[in-house]
Structure 1
């Protein structure tokens, strides 16, 4: 006798957004954030690579200091583990997309909205205010160099609940600026 299995229809998940559709400003900022994290993971000073890479993108030296200040504010004030992918990863993490939205808000002068975007579930309010200030300076540097952030970077879909539960490890926590990828 056959057995009939019922399958609950699942909503098809969208493919995760990729970095291929980002504009130059978003691509440069995302790569700077990813290299900053990668260098820190390897125990190095991230500012050397930042200075060189941002100079190659025709951005002045203060851009590297602004990225470094932003990421240090994020690292100090993170409420949870922030997901930053490897530099060459083609996927865009939800946290990375949130940083890009915050950068756009900062560039158009929306200081309160920038801090709010960063403090939703990501940063403590004090750290969000510091990070928003660093992003505002960075947004100005990008704008002067002719780089504008787009209105709406792609928003990744949230992982399914069972996938999130499987990835939890009791008693072990990475520093807030790292993520396994």
Structure 2
């Protein structure tokens, strides 16, 4: 994994950092979520229950119950997404636009900015009702991650913006 800087001021001041395009540039907290998303999809494609994989993944940082939040989030997305959501395979070194949106929404939810997280989810990804259901999962995931010291950085998708480009 590449060198990761954790600028405390980015989270504390409410300013945004740019959203990385490569998985190697993510914070460990973001990598955990992205790996969970990708593992879930891989398990479903193989006809397996995704919960055992997710539980193993989330047990490492001490939050095995986070597996339920990720599972619920992706089931909501699978049932209500406006298009086929682009979640990449585990070996892909790059993030899709949809993965970036989900990471951004998770960070906003963890920061207590539910309206922004909902807007990010609704910006083409989910209808209003789907975003509401997904938001509950993201808020629960955010609380569990925070309890384990896993903070998600707030980011935007473009240069020079003071909020996510898709809001």
Give the TM-score range, shorter chain: 0.7 to 0.9
- CA shift digits 1:18-61 (9 cap, x unpaired): 101100110000000000011111111000110011102322x2
Shift of 1:153: 6.3
Partner in structure 1 of residue 76 of structure 2: 73
Indicate the structure (1 or 2) with the bigger Cα radius of gyration: 1
Structure 1: unaligned runs, 5 residues or longer: 1-15, 156-181
Give the aligned partner of residue 12 of structure 1.
none
TM-superposed CA distance for 1:124, in Å, is 1.4
Alpha-carbon contact 1:25-1:149 (below 8 Å) kept = yes
| Equivalent position to 1:137, from 123, 136, 140 | 140
Change (3 A) 1:153 1:120: closer
Equivalent residue runs for 1:22-33 within 5 Å: 22-33=26-37
Structure 2 distance, partners of 1:58, 1:89, is 26
Cα distance between partner residues in 1 of 2:95 and 2:111:
23
TM-score (structure 2 length as normaliser): 0.80
Kept in 2, the 8 Å contact 1:34–1:86? The answer is: yes
Q: 1:94–1:109: structure 2 CA closer, same or farther, 3 Å change rule?
A: same
Deviations 1:111-150 (A, max 9, x none): 1211111011011111111001100000000001000001
Over aligned residues, Cα RMSD in angstroms?
1.4
Contact preservation (8 Å) 1:22, 1:153: no
2:41 is aligned to 37
Aligned pair count reads: 139
Moved over 4 A (4+): none
Is this contact kept in 2: 1:28–1:57, CA < 8 A? no
Tell me the distance in 1 between the aligned counterparts of 2:156 and 2:117: 15
**Is the alpha carbon distance of 1:154 and 1:26 closer, same or farther for their aligned partners in structure 2, counting shifts above 3 Å?**
farther
1:56 maps onto 2:51 in alignment: no
